Amino acid sequence: MSVLEGTWQHEYIISNGLRLHYVTQGEGPLMLMLHGFPEFWYSWRHQIPEFAKDYKVVALDLRGYNDSDKPKAQSAYVMAEFIKDIEGVIKGLGYDKCILVGHDWGGAIAWSFAYAHPEMVERLIVLNIPHPAKFAEGFRTPQQLLKSSYMFLFQLPVLPEMLLQAGDYQAIENGLKGMAVNKSAFTPEDIAAYKDAAAKRGALTAALNYYRNMLQQGMTNPNWGVLNVPTLMIWGEKDTALGRELSYGTATYVNPFQVRYIPDASHWVQQEKPELVNEYMREFLSS
């Protein structure tokens, strides 16, 4: 059986004029999960069955990724559109609010969505993605600029796509397994699933367009108010792309706020330490 098949169901929804793919399991309040780069819904494979015991879990393929629509225009990959996508998914599923969970780019979208529609976010859980104001601060330091140097490479046309495709998408494997502390968190079948998703027509360019529109995403704007949504941040401390220091001082911008650090996990924290991540999420949701 394919690793993509499990206890969940595959579904599609029309939101903001696009056909978006998601997997879902369970019934109850909505828990909406947003993945990062270079992933797809499969990033949440260890969380979906666990939280389906109490929630309707929906793990989305973001626009441009895997089996979701991939608009060709670079201008389609901006935060204002991502926010509309999420709003349309929540309402289209018949809910007026959700528990919103995001990692990496999905976390950046989750932060921005919570600011735009706090009434639609019952609780916010972000993994290894800083608050946008802290991200903007980090971008003014040499250490973080060095760690984020790949983002500048991604601004170029064509070349990043060629580099990511080279050697049967070896860069995808290097980015996932290579960065991981626990290499066994990614089986050969997992890596193959990620490569297959990246290889779908238009997916790589779409994913890179998120970065190519960095200045339009609002993430480098330091002027953010206080978010009054209960928020949990989970941070794998061995993240080579985003330093732990980007999490410091987040409580200035969020009320109430909790942070849980996981010392022996990388950027791919929910895949390397799924039991601990699930435990921290459960504690937060029951508090």
Q: Please state, in angstroms and rounded to a whole number, the distance separating the CA atoms of residues 64 and 20.
A: 9
Active-site hit among 65, 77, 210, 211: 211
Q: Which two tokens stand for residue 163?
A: 């580099």
Active-site hit among 85, 104, 194, 239: 104
Decide if 77 is catalytic. Answer: no
Decide if 196 is catalytic. Answer: no
136-139 long-range CB contacts below 8 Å, 24 or more apart?
Answer: 136/219, 136/220, 136/221, 136/222, 137/222, 137/246, 138/242, 138/243, 138/245, 138/246, 139/220
Active-site hit among 21, 103, 131, 267: 267
Q: Which two tokens stand for residue 181?
A: 């502390």
Q: Please state, in angstroms and rounded to a whole number, the distance separating the CA atoms of residues 183 and 192.
A: 15
Residue 270's nearest CA partner among 285, 260, 258, 255 is 260
Calculate ∠ Cα 62-90-17, nearest 5°: 55
Q: Which two tokens stand for residue 15?
A: 């939101």
Q: Is the peptide bond before 49 cis (omega within 30 degrees of 0)?
A: no
Encode 143-161: b = buried (16+ Cβ within 10 Å), e = exposed.
ebeebbeeeeebeeeeebe
Active site residues: 104, 211, 267
